Amino acid sequence: MRALIISNPTSGGNETMLGEVVGTIESLYDEILIRKTLAQGDAGRFAEESGAYEHLIVIGGDGTLHEVVNGLMKLPRDERPTIGLIPAGTCNDFARALALPVEPIEAARLFKMSYAQSVDVMRVNERYGLNFIGVGLIADASRQIDPLQKESLGSIGYFLATIRQFRELDPFDVRIEHGGEVVHDGPVSFLYVGNGAYLGTVPTKLPTQSFTDGLVEVVHSSAIGFPMIRQLLTQQLGLEQSSPEWVHLQMSQLTVHLNESQIIDVDGEHFEAERLDVDVLPRELSFLVPSH
């Protein structure tokens, strides 16, 4: 069996870690090729060239994984290798959703006791994502985080950035369509479309959330200030939302119309759009996950 390792040195995949990972998994493979990213786009390009390998080992964070997913989706389905994820970033949200250890060497040790789990992929216009799509508060907080604060504080930096954004929260108009019907037309403070179960290391606490059911969780609220904080705390405590402003739906497809071009966050990567066409592609990729 052959494995390709894509390692991002800037997100934690340093030489020491890389050597330890290789030493941990090398007995499982007949051949291992290592490719290190030097610039944005490298991980996606390497993934697109991985069709000859059975396993694609990704050492990096959410951004590296996002590139890899978009590269793999350019390959025919039967040529895509199974992904072995070694979390080495700040949040590692999809690794958490897969119940992987967030300590890289511990994750590598589980490879020999893992099986291939198929997962859904979200298609967002011409892009692909695994974990979430965010507009409004979610995208603004992610975009405004200070890089030095992210490096020094890790996931706490995302929390602080979110708190800062509460002071500048400005609802925006959105129309959401599903199956040709309008399910919402009005202001919201944020829009969350989720496939994974974590956001900035925090569990979403949505009981129906699954990355294997062919559906995404669609959550939005028009609340601002203290009512918004109360709703988020209620969600984290696992209590039932009583506010009519908080809306939670499940969909396999949706179209989002924004009143103007906005920053869109897909798995931590940003772009601008006025319209989002979102489809769930069921069980499109496979990951190595622990068997216990």
pLDDT exceeds 70 at position 241: yes
Helix, strand or coil, per DSSP, at residue 271: strand
Q: Are residues 16 and 50 in the same domain?
A: yes
Q: Are residues 53 and 142 in the same domain?
A: no
Q: Are residues 185 and 112 in the same domain?
A: no
13-17, 38-42, 173-177, 278-282: range with lowest mean pLDDT: 13-17
Share of the chain above pLDDT 70, in %: 89
Q: Which domain holds residue 184?
A: 129-281
CA distances from 45 to 113, 119, 242, 283 (A): 29, 22, 47, 22
CATH number at residue 141: 2.60.200.40
Tell me the pLDDT of the chain averaged across its residues.
90
pLDDT exceeds 90 at position 73: yes
Higher pLDDT, 66 or 241: 66
Q: Per the structure block, which two tokens stand in for 173?
A: 């108009």
Q: Are residues 78 and 133 in the same domain?
A: no
Which of 247, 234, 226, 248 shows the shortest CA–CA distance to 166?
A: 226
Q: Are residues 114 and 152 in the same domain?
A: no
- The total domain count for the chain is 2
Q: Are residues 236 and 100 in the same domain?
A: no
What is the model's pLDDT at position 117? 98
Q: Are residues 181 and 89 in the same domain?
A: no
pLDDT exceeds 80 at position 65: yes
Q: Are residues 104 and 203 in the same domain?
A: no
Determine the straight-line distance between the first and last CA of the chain, rounded to whole angstroms. 23
What is the model's pLDDT at position 15? 83
Q: Are residues 31 and 153 in the same domain?
A: no
CATH number at residue 91: 3.40.50.10330
Q: Are residues 104 and 227 in the same domain?
A: no
Q: Are residues 26 and 113 in the same domain?
A: yes
Which segments within 69-126 are labelled E, that is strand?
A: 82-87, 114-124
Q: Per the structure block, which two tokens stand in for 1?
A: 């069996």
154-158, 228-232, 247-251: range with lowest mean pLDDT: 154-158
CA distance linking residue 248 with residue 104, whole number of Å: 34
Q: For the segment 130-178, what is each residue's pLDDT rounded down to a tens digit?
A: 999 999 988 876 665 555 444 444 445 555 555 555 666 788 999 999 9
Q: Are residues 264 and 191 in the same domain?
A: yes
Q: For the segment 81-128, what is each residue's pLDDT rounded down to a tens digit?
A: 999 999 998 889 999 999 999 999 999 999 999 999 999 999 999 999
Which of 13, 29, 37, 31 shows the shortest CA–CA distance to 85?
A: 13
Higher pLDDT, 128 or 200: 128
